[in-house]
Chain A
Amino acid sequence: MTQFSRRRFIASAAGASAAFGLPAIAYGQGAARVVVIGGGFGGATAARYLKIASPQLQVTLVEPSRRFVTCPYSNLVIGGWRKIDSITFGYDKLTRAGITVVHDTAAAIEHDKKRVRLAGGRMLSYDRLIVSPGIDIRWNAIAGYDETGAQAMPHAWRAGEQTLVLRRQLESMPDGGLFVMAAPANPFRCPPGPYERVSMIASYLKQSKPRSKILILDAKENFSKQPLFQDGWQKFYAGMVEWVPSGKDGKVVKVDAKARTLETEFGQVHKAAVANVIPPQMAGRIARESGLADASGWCPIDAMTFESKLVKGVHVVGDATIAAPMPKSGFAANSQGKVAAAAAVAMLQGRTSPAPSMVNTCYSHVAKDYAISVAGVYRGTPDRGLIEVADSGGVSPRQWEDENRRLESVYADGWYASITGEMFG
């Protein structure tokens, strides 16, 4: 990790401590303890940055899986561009950075006792807690779409086995088959993700099964980077992709997973050769069961610290949060993890947490050597909550040289290498 950043953090922490006459860590006996629940983009980043900010801190990361498969770039596995091994990471480097990685499930948070109960029975006490639980699927929000149904009609919205199920189904689909995607209403994880996935699948079908068609049944009226995606589909996959918005009866309300049929709001039934149902979502279980989520199913947070608005002493980051205008993206979670880590350390040291600045860049591959992006710079404010800095950010220009699309595909790959390296490398 960054040697200089570490020194700066220590220097600024020491400076602040000297100024306010505080010890480096306000907690008397031993080092302060921070527990991080969830080893994805938000949690792994927070754990790394806690250690950078305060090497003496006891940081414990709770994550059930020994291997993490990233959702970013999983569409490339579905399209056959990448092997799943290339998007799979272990936690060895986090351990080497001094983080205690516990492969267990957080069963409950006992806020009054400031401890996390693990499914295996262990208790982890904390001085501050950072929760990065990701998303859960709202099973049966689409009638008939449950965990069994997801085997026949994968969501592939949590990467791993589901990614491979969808890939295998596409491989065994006959040429001329109809691939149907059900896309969800906002908010959901990775707003451009469904449409990048369609692009990847179109690239595979064009090459291997060119008589096939793609139908997107959407619960929305418009989607992220829509003109850019649609231009790209016209350019590379003309006649293959049809998108049906909610107003034209695109909203899927019922599925029969065995029959591979999807029924929309006004009763149209579509039969698919392969169906990918991306269902409505909510904050991960531990956040909902421990009072961190509100009635919407998502977690309200303080824009300055990412501390929960519902439970003091607990920070929530990543897709589970209500952080608009930031999207639910891996990059946003990574950026929020850094802010929460800095805030948690500052609060343990009795300092005011530093003014938060965050960034997001979401690249989407559309075809080989052709990618598009949306970017944003965000600030936390005491009075206006999270804001996007005026006149910054936005999507790639619509009228642009192909060379710039190629560069964005190169930068997308560079981004993926950098961000996964920062967390797991």
Chain B
Amino acid sequence: MKINIKIALILALAAGPASAQTADVSILASTCSGCHGANANGSGGIPGLRSQQQIYLADQLKAFKAGSRPATVMNRLAKGYTDEEIAGLAVHFSRLR
């Protein structure tokens, strides 16, 4: 019975909606550059993401997603990413040199 539950759980996870799957971080990060620039350097009023602290990036994205940090467009966009994806993006941009 225990084994069956485990198998069912594994199957359920494997068959979960694609939107809940964590996408490749390089693919995810490439979408950010449309606004934040090719090197994530930012442009004009749009801030750079490159080399920002990982904790700061993750916290801000989570705050955008939760609506606790006021924003124009980032709250609408951040809701499109899972917490795991946000964590991956924070690592990616914090390491970008």
Chain A positions near chain B (C-beta within 8 angstroms): 1-5, 8-9, 12, 49, 331, 334-335, 338-339, 342, 354-359, 361, 373, 375-377, 379-384, 387, 389-394, 396, 404, 407-408, 410-411, 413-415, 417-419, 421-422, 425
User: Are B44 and A414 within 8 A (Cβ)?
Assistant: yes
Instruction: Determine the chain B residues whose CB is within 8 A of the CB of A421 once the complex forms.
Output: 37-38, 43
Which B49-96 residues have C-beta < 8 A from chain A?
Answer: 72-73, 76-81, 92, 95-96
A-B contact count (CB 8 A): 149
Closest residue of chain B to A373 (Cβ to Cβ) is B73
Q: Which of B19, B27, B76 contacts A338 (CB 8 A)?
A: B27
User: What bracket does the count of chain B residues touching chain A fall in?
Assistant: 35 or more
Select from chain B the residue with minimum beta-carbon distance to A360.
B34
Chain B residue with Cβ nearest A395: B76
Inter-chain contacts of A355 with B (CB < 8 A): 18, 21, 23-24, 27
| Cβ contact within 8 Å between B35 and A415 | yes
Evaluate contact between A1 and B77: CB separation under 8 angstroms. Answer: no
- A sample of 6 more A-B contacts (CB under 8 A), given A359-B77, A391-B79, A392-B79, is A342-B30, A375-B77, A389-B19, A411-B73, A413-B44, A414-B46
In the assembled complex, 28 residue pairs joining A and B whose CB atoms fall closer than 8 Å, in A order, are A2-B33, A2-B39, A2-B40, A4-B92, A4-B95, A5-B30, A5-B96, A8-B25, A8-B26, A342-B26, A357-B31, A358-B31, A359-B77, A361-B77, A373-B73, A375-B73, A377-B31, A379-B23, A392-B79, A393-B77, A404-B72, A411-B45, A413-B43, A413-B45, A414-B45, A418-B38, A419-B34, A422-B33
With A8-B26, A389-B79, A414-B35 in contact, do A379 and B18 touch (Cβ < 8 Å)? yes
A193 to chain B minimum Cβ distance, whole angstroms, is 18
Q: How far is the CA of A421 from the CA of B46 in the complex (A)?
A: 14
Please give the distance in Å from A143's CB to the nearest CB on chain B: 39
Chain A residues with CB under 8 Å of B37's CB are 417-418, 421-422
Query: B97 an interface residue at 8 Å Cβ cutoff?
Result: yes
Cα-based distance from A359 to B46 in the complex (angstroms): 16
Query: Complex Cα distance A393/B10, Å?
Result: 31
